[in-house]
C-alpha cells in the first residue's frame, strides 16, 4: 500500500496534478494491482498543502467541499484494517499526501522501488524552522525592497498543540 501511495504522490507532485489519476491516466485500482492483491474494499484519500500529520488527518476528517464526506467516511470505517501512506512535494500546492486504506491487502513478492524525493520539502522556506509543538502553519510571503536590497519576508502564523497561537517573522535577502 505504501508503494502505491508514494508512487502516486511522486508522480502527481512533480507534474502539478491533483486527483486520483496519474500522469499516465492510471487509476487508483490499477496502481494497487501493480503492487499487490486486494479483497473486500479499498479507499484512497488525497490531501494537498498540509505540512504536518495532524493537519493532513484533520483536513481529511473535515473533508470540506465534499458534500458526501468520502474521506471522512473512509478514515472512520472500522472495516479497514490496513493503511499505506505517501507524502512529498507538489509543484503547485507545496505538499501532497496520499492515504490508502484496505480491508485485506497482500503485497506482491517483488515490489517496485519507490522513494521519497530527498530534501525538497525541507528546503521550502514555508516549512523551514518548524516551531516546536506546532500543528498547523499559515504563511504570508511578501517580497519588498529595503534600501538597495530585495528581501523576502515570511510571516508565519502557528497553531500550537495546546490551542494557543504564535506569530514569527523570518526575513531573507534574495537580491
The yes-or-no verdict on residue 40 having pLDDT over 70 is yes
Question: Given CA atoms 121, 126, 128, 130 in this order, what sign does their dihedral have?
Answer: negative
83 assigned to some structural domain: yes
Number of domains in the chain: 2
Q: Which of 72, 107, 142 is the last residue of a domain?
A: 107
With CA atoms as reference, report the closest residue to 52 among 11, 13, 97: 97
- Give the integer Cα–Cα distance in Å for 114 and 88: 12
> What residues make up the domain containing 58?
2-107
Quick one: pLDDT at residue 106?
Answer: 93
Residue 123 phi, psi dihedral angles, 5° rounding: -80, -10
Q: Which of 68, 88, 107 is the last residue of a domain?
A: 107
pTM, full prediction? 0.69
Averaged pLDDT for residues 108-135: 68
Pair 13, 73 in one domain: yes
Pair 96, 138 in one domain: no
What is the average pLDDT value for the chain, to the nearest integer? 86
133 or 171, higher pLDDT: 171
Residue 112 phi, psi dihedral angles, 5° rounding: -65, 150
Question: 32: which 3 cell numbers?
Answer: 494497487
Amino acid at each position: 500500500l505504501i508503494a502505491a501511495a508514494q508512487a502516486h504522490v511522486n508522480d502527481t507532485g512533480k507534474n502539478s496534478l491533483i486527483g486520483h489519476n496519474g500522469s499516465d491516466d492510471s487509476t487508483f485500482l490499477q496502481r494497487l494491482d501493480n503492487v499487490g492483491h486486494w479483497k473486500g474494499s479499498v479507499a484512497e484519500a488525497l490531501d494537498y498543502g498540509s505540512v504536518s500529520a495532524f493537519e493532513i488527518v484533520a483536513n481529511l476528517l473535515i473533508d470540506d467541499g465534499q458534500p458526501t464526506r468520502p474521506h471522512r467516511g473512509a478514515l472512520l470505517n472500522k472495516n479497514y484494517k490496513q493503511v499505506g501512506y505517501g507524502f512529498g512535494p507538489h509543484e503547485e500546492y507545496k505538499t501532497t499526501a496520499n492515504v490508502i486504506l484496505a480491508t485485506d491487502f497482500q503485497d506482491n513478492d517483488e515490489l517496485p522501488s519507490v522513494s521519497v524525493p530527498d530534501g525538497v520539502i525541507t528546503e521550502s522556506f514555508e516549512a523551514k524552522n518548524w516551531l516546536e509543538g506546532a500543528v498547523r502553519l499559515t504563511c504570508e510571503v511578501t517580497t519588498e525592497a529595503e534600501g538597495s536590497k530585495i528581501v523576502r519576508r515570511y510571516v508565519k502564523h502557528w497553531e500550537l498543540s495546546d490551542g494557543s497561537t504564535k506569530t514569527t517573522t523570518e526575513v531573507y535577502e534574495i537580491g
